[in-house]
Structures are given as C-alpha cells and as structure tokens.
Amino acid sequence: MADLLNSLSLSASGMEAQARRLRHSTENIANADTPGYRRKITDFRTAADGTVVPGAVRLDPSDLERIHEPGHPLADAAGYHDGSNVDMVVEIADAREAQRSYEANLRMFDQARQMTQGLIDLLRR
C-alpha cells in the first residue's frame, strides 16, 4: 500500500513539474514578439524521495535578436532594436513534450489511484 501511495506522490510531482514547464513555454510563445523579452527556463531535479523538484525560474542569457526597424520607437540611432530570444520551434517542441509527459504522469496517477481504491475495497470485505 505504501508503494502505491508513493506512486501517487511521484506522479503528482511530475504533473506539477510538467505543468510549470508548459506554463513557461506558453508564456515564452505569447511574448515571442515582445521587444527585449528573454525566454524563461526552469530546471528540475530529483529529490531524495524520488519526487521532482522545480528549480528557480531563470532568464535565458543568450543574445537577443537585433531587428532593423528604423521607425520603431525603441530603435537606436542606427535603426536597430532588441527583439526576443524565443525560438518558436524549440518552444512548441518543449510544450508538446511537457504535455505528453504530463499525460503520462496523469495515467500513472490514475492507475495507482485505481489500484489503491481496489485494495481499500478488498480490505473492507
């Protein structure tokens, strides 16, 4: 029974981590055209009990795209302004991977919940 409850905890932590990852990907996609926007990155680690622990949100330090648009209000004297460092292909791939990982954790959570309920029903007889 303890293993099933541990499975619920592990799956729940995985769902929470992937939900956070998906939220950051969608924020990055939404701000891809925002001048000066740096994409958000979150690292994850495994705790001693096996659960997934999200790290702090960091901003991607890679260079911002330089856009030549002389009429833009943020353009410098040469007509350039900073774009974002969001790569739409990477963000869409990350979002899909996070969604699929979330769904896999959800299936594991549901199976462990059903087995736990089955054991409880069996013990009540």
Q: What is the pLDDT of residue 27?
A: 97
Query: Mean pLDDT for each consecutive 10-residue tract of the chain (125 residues)?
Result: 79 93 96 95 89 91 94 92 95 96 94 84 80
pLDDT for 1: 58
pLDDT of 113: 87
Q: Which own/partner contact pairs does 23-29 have at CB distance under 8 Å and 24+ positions apart?
A: 24/57, 25/91, 25/92, 25/94, 25/95, 25/98, 26/95, 28/86, 28/91, 29/86, 29/88, 29/91, 29/92, 29/95
According to the model, what pLDDT value does residue 125 have?
77
